[in-house]
A and B are shown apart, each in its own frame.
Chain A
Amino acid sequence: QVQLQQSGAELVRPGASVALSCKASGYTFTDYEIHWVKQTPVHGLEWIGAIDPETGVTAYNQKFKDKATLTADKSSSTAYMELRSLTSEDSAVYHCTLGATVYWGQGTTLTVSS
């Protein structure tokens, strides 16, 4: 069955960077885009962007263009999202999802705090 397994919770310092991962299984990794979604109590669900694992082509929400970088490793069927120059505003639950439809990871909680 299709599964998206996300990396564990992170606690990072302001100003640092972090890479979140999303390991896919149960389907051909290169057949579908992986999308990333941010969730906070204040802003709700926000679409960050998407990557085509076959080509590496990405699409970003302009709001996150300078914050997030999406990559995908076909050899390990894993998608990554790097977040940089972290501030408290980046504290959130981050979801990866297959095409922003049926299949979602369990979410990764990121806390930015000194």
Chain B
Amino acid sequence: DIVMTQAAPSVPVTPGESVSISCRSSKSLLHSNGNTYLYWFLQRPGQSPQLLIYRMSKLASGVPDRFSGSGSGTAFTLRISRVEAEDVGVYYCMQHLEYPYTFGGGTKLEIK
């Protein structure tokens, strides 16, 4: 199975500042078709996960452009600029290159 690692269990941030959340995979998620099969989700307290980013860097519909995704085949970053209070929750990366799909352990964004 592909292991997804989010090293930071939490990140504190001041509203208005920017923050980066990292994720690594044990195998390259770059497919031969050129797509990188990495999602980013946000799970707010008491809610189901919400898709933010797909194919590593594409913004899901309705997601503010303060969110952006980047990376290589095995190292990925979710960047949130101008953090707002509503961004609080747990951020998960997930690979969907191959079964079984696997998730990172999550990074909790906390407001200072």
A-to-B contact residues, CB < 8 Å:
35, 44-47, 49-50, 59-63, 95, 97, 100-102, 104-107
Contacts and interface: CB of A to CB of B under 8 A. Distances in A.
Interface class of chain B by DSSP: loop
A61 B99 contact: yes
Contact of B103 (A47, A59, A107): A47
Contact of A100 (B60, B96, B104): B96
A44 B106 contact: yes
Interface in B58-112: 60-61, 92, 94, 96, 99-106
Q: Is the interface of A mostly helix, strand, loop or mixed?
A: strand
A46 B105 CA distance: 10
A47 B106 contact: no
B94 A45 contact: yes
Nearest to A102: B51
Interface in B27-77: 39, 48-51, 54, 60-61
Interface residues of B, number: 19
A44 B60 contact: no
Contact of A102 (B61, B92, B96, B105): B61
Contact of B94 (A50, A63, A100): A100
B100 A62 contact: yes
Nearest to A95: B48
Contact of B49 (A49, A60, A63, A95): A95
A62 B1 CA distance: 10
B48 A101 contact: no
Given A45-B92, A62-B100, A104 B49 contact: yes
